[in-house]
A and B are shown apart, each in its own frame.
Chain A
Amino acid sequence: MKKSYIFIIFLVSLLIIAGCKKEGTGKTGTFFGGVDGVSIEFEKLSPPSKFEQDDSVSIQTILKNKGEFDLQSGKAKAKIFGINLNTFGLTDQYKGSAGPLRGRGEFSDQGGEQVLDFGNARYNQPIINSQDFTIRAKVCYPYQTKGLVNVCITPLIAKESGKEVCSVEEQKVKKGDISSGPVQITSVTEEIRGSDQVRFNIEIQNQGKGDVFMPEIECEKLEEATARVANKDKVEVHILNPADVQCDFRTSDLTNRGIVELVGGKQVVSCFTTARDSYEDKLNIRLNYVYLDETSVPVTIFESTTK
């Protein structure tokens, strides 16, 4: 009887200890992973959800870098839109972050934050009873998603003789292989072609809520409808390793760096390398792009009571 009590107390203690164990950082591989980049939201009460016509209300947004790429000061920019900015006395210009926005990493589990102040808004048009508006803000930033994926380089002869050291069969992307960013490498598969060629099929997908654009494009330029169309859904893919990997980028010669156009938010890039021996390697991929995301807040403006 006594023994069974001790056993129960031991079991309960174990459960308690297990429960108290500090929650991990969620990092199981090289990267935290995820689809977050830089998010934008309105600061609490900036603006308030309801105010009077004569009120001057503060407009502020907060940018949070929850992805795994560091952004220098001014690189992430935001602007207010969705309303007639003149009638609210607001600027239609982009405003850059005053400080750097560090991504999530070893030393910063949360990532960096920056508040952008757009000054005060005051509605200068007549209001009868009340009028509802939706104030929107967009964030535009250059970003990079990194991928370090274990791949198997093996020639056909090694496979058929059973001397391969690894398998080309299964899905190569594992948890923690891809850094957090809105554009993701969602799949890497391999196949052996010919006697010594290994082909990688790399699937790239926009998994964020926003739109992706060609890297290096200026945010201000994206305000022009034609530039927006011309640069939308374009991502630069750069394969750093294996060194001799070449990809079919359609718009350029076979190379390890080029632009991929996403169709319906995704695209598969085919790359290949020559396998002279059977070995495991890291497929080191960089995706470069500019990302545009937005947020909104509904507000109601009431007719002034002090006429």
Chain B
Amino acid sequence: MKRILIVFLLIFIIGCGQPGQGRGKITGEPDGLQISFLPLQPASSLRENQDVNVGLELVNNGVCDISSEVCVTDTLSSVWAGVEEQCTSLELRGIEQVGEGVTKDSTTKQFSFPAYRGVDRDLSTSIIAKSKYNCDITAGPQLCVKPLVGQKEKECPSFEKITGDKLRATIAPITLVGVDKQLVPEQGGIKLVVAITLKKMGAGEIKGELDESTINKKGSSSALRYVPVRVEVDYRGYGSLECRELENGIFLWRKDKDQEILNCEIFLGSIDYVENPLDIKLGYEYEVSQMMPIQILDVDKQR
């Protein structure tokens, strides 16, 4: 009897001890393509005339399908040969919810470069791997509206800060991290006012160029300070919200900021109690890079 109990206990412990691979959700904090160098590919120090092999592991942690390419280059002048930019195609499916778990696509890529030559002293360089891809997502919480501000506050607060799971923030390089809702009574109905906080993932940066009309309007230096993000905010079935910071559906994201806020509103008129999704559609180009410093050793010096 004791043995059976111990066996059961062991099975239970083993079962609980699994890392839970694949479990999770497709909503959460910003995340996307993750690039990492495979062990010793390349090694941290290479000898002159030694072939350079670069191995990358690429994991897509976001919902956007990646159909792009990944490129590898270095920071050293081409005088010494070695790593000249090489690109290869990259196809990774976005994460998907399957039951209680999440499927995540990943791949490895191998690059071979000729050796560094003619080195007359030890040199330092960095191998850089980067990939740029487009991402279009729709995310957003269910927002309740009601005909009278001040009533049924417990069920549907007139002022509400939505964070966490309720946000239904689809995981992507830029996603939403907070929605501040406000119901404003106005002549003839209710106005829905929202402040949407967007955040980009820690690694990488938003890419893209401003169109000419924006540069003309904002000045030529704006191209250095801003990158465009397409945004559309829709209270599903009731129409688009007007957002103060949007111009022709484009939000100018300051390059030095990780987080931005959009202020939007829609007049809903006389409306009964409704819980309805706020669809926040985002479209942008994102570049992720990974750098690895290496040393190229001068063979002659070693002799």
| Residues of A that sit less than 8 Å from B by CB | 81-84, 86-87, 92, 125, 128-134, 136, 223-225, 228-229
Contact = CB atoms under 8 A, between A and B. Distances in A.
Contacts of B272: 81-82, 92, 223
B46 interface: no
Contact of A131 (B26, B96, B270, B277): B277
* Pairs A-B, 3 closest by C-beta atoms: A84-B237, A87-B237, A225-B147
Contact of A83 (B170, B270, B275): B275
A81 B275 CA distance: 9
Contacts of B138: 128
Given A81-B273, A225-B147, 16 more contacts: A82-B273, A83-B274, A84-B236, A84-B238, A87-B236, A87-B237, A87-B276, A128-B170, A129-B96, A129-B97, A133-B142, A133-B275, A134-B275, A225-B270, A228-B148, A229-B148
A248 B25 CA distance: 62
A156 B273 CA distance: 55
Contact of A82 (B147, B270, B274): B274
Nearest to B144: A82
Contacts, number: 44
A136 B237 contact: no
A84 B270 contact: no
Contact of B142 (A92, A130, A132, A229): A132
A87 B237 CA distance: 6
Contacts of A131: 277
A136 B273 contact: yes
Contact of B237 (A81, A92, A125, A132): A125
Interface string B142-179: 10000110000000000000000000001000000000
A136 B238 CA distance: 19
A239 to B, nearest CB: 32
A223 B276 CA distance: 19
13 contacts: A81-B272, A81-B273, A82-B274, A84-B237, A87-B237, A92-B272, A129-B96, A133-B275, A134-B275, A223-B270, A223-B272, A228-B148, A229-B148
A125 to B, nearest CB: 6
Nearest to B190: A225
Nearest to B188: A225
B276 A83 contact: yes
Interface in B226-266: 236-238
B259 to A, nearest CB: 24
A132 B275 CA distance: 10
Q: Which of B236, B273, B274, B275 has the most CB of A within 10 A?
A: B275
Contacts of B142: 132-133
Q: Which of A81, A125, A128 has the most CB of B within 10 A?
A: A128
Interface in B274-289: 274-277
B148 A82 contact: no
A229 B147 CA distance: 10
Given A83-B276, A84-B276, A131-B277, A224 B237 contact: no
A125 B236 contact: yes
A125 B236 CA distance: 8
Contacts of B148: 225, 228-229
A96 to B, nearest CB: 18
A228 B138 CA distance: 37
Nearest to B149: A225
B141 to A, nearest CB: 11
A131 B142 CA distance: 9
A136 B274 CA distance: 9
A228 B147 contact: yes
A123 B16 CA distance: 40
A297 to B, nearest CB: 13
A179 B130 CA distance: 77
Interface in B60-100: 96-97
B236 A129 contact: no
A81 B26 contact: no
B272 to A, nearest CB: 5
